[in-house]
Amino acid sequence: MTPPAGDVELLASGRDADVFALDAQRVLRRYRDGGDVTAEVAVMAHVAADGFPVPEVFAADGADLVMTRVAGPTMLTALVSGDVRVDDAARTLAALLHRLHAVPPRGATGSVLHRDLHPDNVILSPTGPVVIDWRDTTEGPPDLDVALTALIIAQVAVDDSPLTGIATAVLTAFLAHARGNPAEQLGHAVTFRRANPTLTEREAALLTEATRLVRAQV
């Protein structure tokens, strides 16, 4: 795929990827460290075919993914600005997970899981929430996805930042709305989060604290 021209607008730069606006309708998401989007694109097509809200994929090649430019703020941005209430955001997260896990599985190893479904990976579009960032998708037990969402939010809640209060409130509301029994899979969720090669010593300590915070509420 040709590199974006010089005048292309950089919309966002995350931990792994840069996202460029190609035009009013399309973005290019490019992994900085290379990689292959084939697997995540296949899952996006699979869940989209069942009606799950994901951006439409127009082209995929190596580390590049061209998809619908979804209008609207991320759920995180909307929480910070006060445009969405904590309880509504938490309910939406729980509903998205429940809906995703109802998609007929592709293989024989469990439900489709996202494994990174948190407020910065949900765009609140005028037609409803849309889930992005499918890099960590796999198949497995739904409780693992619920435990991971809780743990990711808890990692923000235990870190001292302007988001601490919001994350603490979202975590409690999310666990109240979420289905299943995330306690069952919390250990596996921690193992998965700990396996991140970029985890610093400080993040590892916060992960232990985050695990305690979730454990106390499930």
Ligand X SMILES: Nc1ncnc2c1ncn2[C@@H]1O[C@H](COP(=O)(O)OP(=O)(O)O)[C@@H](O)[C@H]1O
Residue 152 interacting with ligand X (CB under 6 A): no
Interface pick for ligand X out of 37, 57, 60, 67 (rule CB under 6 A): 67
Give the nearest distance from C-beta 65 to ligand X in angstroms: 9
Residue 4 interacting with ligand X (CB under 6 A): no
10 Å CB burial of residue 33 (0-12, 13-18, 19+) is: exposed
- 11's contact among Mg ion, ligand X, none, with CB below 5 to 8 A by partner kind, is ligand X
CA distance 27 to 42: 18
Residue 55 interacting with ligand X (CB under 6 A): yes
Give the nearest distance from C-beta 74 to Mg ion in angstroms: 8
Interaction pattern, residues 69-88, with ligand X; x per rule: CB under 6 A:
xx---x--------------
Give the nearest distance from C-beta 40 to Mg ion in angstroms: 12
Interface pick for ligand X out of 58, 68, 99, 103 (rule CB under 6 A): 68
Give the interface with ligand X as residue ranges (CB under 6 A): 11-12, 14-17, 19, 27, 29, 55, 67-70, 74, 120-121, 123, 132-133
